[in-house]
Each structure stands twice: as C-alpha cells, then as structure tokens.
Chains A and B, each alone.
Chain A
Amino acid sequence: MAGGAHHHPQPRQYVSIAIVLAVLTAAEVALFYLEDGVDAIGQSLTVPALLILSALKFYLVVAMFMHLRFEKRLLSRFFTSGAILACGLYLITLAALGAVVLF
C-alpha cells in the first residue's frame, strides 16, 4: 500500500462502509419486490437501477476494502483492464448470440 498507507480507513469507517453496503443490498431486494407493483415505465427502470446499485457495491468493496483507491496506479490498471476486457468480450458475445441488444 505504498504511497498512501496513512490514508487507509479506520475500523469505524470500515463499519460505516459495511452499513452502506447492507443498505444498498436491502435496496436491491426491495427493488426486486417492487417491480411487480409498478407500471411498465417503472419496470423498465428496475434493471438499470439494480445494475447501478450493484456497481456501487462493487466499487465500494474494491476501493475501500481491497484498498485499490490507496494503491499504486499500476494495480488499478491491471484490475480495471481485466474487468473491462471481460465485460466487453462477454457483452459482444451475448449480443452476437442475440441474448442482449446493444444498439
């Protein structure tokens, strides 16, 4: 954790982050159950909302618990390049096989 060891969160901050993660998970589950009770427009917003909540949780764990935010940039590059490569590759595959519509 070179270059920023003293910036790491304290245990109390880790607990606060965990509470945020728990609230985001509860929001995801609530969205899942609310989907049936809303109109078509509301339903069309559920999937993007779930993806955004999941991305937020993903970011919080990687940045704060894995300390990527405090690490050298090289590690972030390795990690994000793997994630972007995987997302890009599989989105193209899913689109090519007709499972998702990109455009």
Chain B
Amino acid sequence: MADLSHGSADAPAHHQLTGIDNRKLGMWVFLSSEFLFFGALINNYLLFKGRDFGPGTLYPVELYDIPFTSISSFVLLMSSLTMVLAHSALARGDQDQTKTWLFATALLGTIFVSGQFFEFGEFILHGLKLNINPAASAFYMLTGFHGLHVVLGVLMLLVLAFKSMRTGGLSEAEGLNVELVGLYWHFVDIIWIVIFVLVYLIQ
C-alpha cells in the first residue's frame, strides 16, 4: 500500500522533524488524549452503575437490549472494514472504489447512530430520563458523547466522498485526509469495543 503520509512535490509542505507528517502525528496525539476523555466517562459510569439510588428508580441495565446492541456493534465493526478498504483503494489509485467505500462507511455509521437514537428513545419512553439518577446520566453522557464522535466522523466521511464525486477523485494530498479520518473512525470503533463489554455485557 502506498504511503499517503508523505506529500508529493506539488503538495503543501509539512514539517516532518520526526519523519512523520506533523498532521498525522497530531492526530495520533489527539487520539491518545481521547483515551483520557472517554476513560473519564467510562469511569463515571462504572462508579454509579452499581449504586442504590432508592426504591422505584430505574437503571439503564434493566432496559438493555443486548441482541439489538450486538447488531449495532457489528455494524460499527464492519464500518472499520469499509474504512480500511477505502484507504487501501485510494493507495492503489482506485478512485471509484475509494468513493464507494467512503459512502459505505458513512452509511454504516449513520445506521449505528440511528440505532443509538432508537435506543435512547426506547429508554426515555420507559421512563429512564437523563436526570432520573446519576447512573442514567452517566450512561447517556458516555454513549451520547460516543455517538457525537460517530456523527462527526460521518460528516468528515461525507465531505471526502462528495469532494471525490465532484472532482472526479481525491489527490495525493487529500489522501492523507482519508488516512486521518480513517484513524479517527477506527478509534471511535475501538472505544465502542470497550463500551460494549464494560457497559453492556459486564453487568
């Protein structure tokens, strides 16, 4: 696979003191810092999930629909495959496949977020409001912020895909953008891998 992190002669110059494009290095540092962000939210949920907030109150764990969340998790996992296939196609110079896989990734991300909206809607209909107890607040904060990250990822994917459609293909310089969006997308996926087990499966 071609290395998309080193621009061509006509691409804008970026310092590479470390031998790595600074934008790519910046993305990895950003993702590394995101561990602390999501770690705090997961930590917050784990602190409150086992606590007793009095009789009659509702807890997220009572409403989990594991088969539904498992399918959502599978969808997000497969979006990582379509993302890496988009990156791989671009490295081979196959613009059509790049476009197709970028749209497929955005579609799978949209399906995941729609599932999350559906889940939130079901929970609220059952009475699990955001402020009913700290466990519910922590659950909505964690999964909501993750969903927001997915929405941002979908928007970035759509920008790249439509740009590719409009211009007939992505340039080598824009290839790095695909790689950076891909890194972000895979990170969102690995955070869900952790959330799925710690929040949904280990009760």
Contact = CB atoms under 8 A, between A and B. Distances in A.
A101 B1 CA distance: 46
A37 to B, nearest CB: 15
A77 to B, nearest CB: 9
Interface residues of A, number: 50
A41 interface: no
Interface string A36-80: 000000000001001101100110011011100001101100110
B193 A82 contact: no
Interface residues of B, number: 55
A2 B20 contact: yes
A89 B25 contact: no
B18 interface: yes
Contacts, number: 135
Interface residues of chain A: helix, strand, loop or mixed (majority): helix
B18 A65 contact: no
A54 B6 CA distance: 33
B114 interface: no
Nearest to A18: B81
Contacts of B81: 14-15, 17-18, 65
A29 B5 contact: no
B19 A72 contact: yes
A82 B28 CA distance: 10
Contacts of A102: none
A2 B36 CA distance: 28
Contacts of A81: 32
Given A85-B36, A86-B35, A29 B1 contact: no
A25 B192 CA distance: 12
A23 to B, nearest CB: 11
A72 B3 CA distance: 13
A54 B197 contact: yes
Nearest to B4: A1
Nearest first, the 8 closest Cβ-Cβ pairs linking A and B are A82-B32, A86-B39, A8-B1, A86-B35, A18-B81, A54-B197, A90-B43, A5-B3
Given A53-B197, A54-B196, A82-B35, 14 more contacts: A1-B4, A8-B88, A17-B81, A18-B80, A18-B81, A28-B201, A47-B202, A74-B18, A78-B25, A85-B35, A86-B36, A86-B38, A94-B43, A99-B50
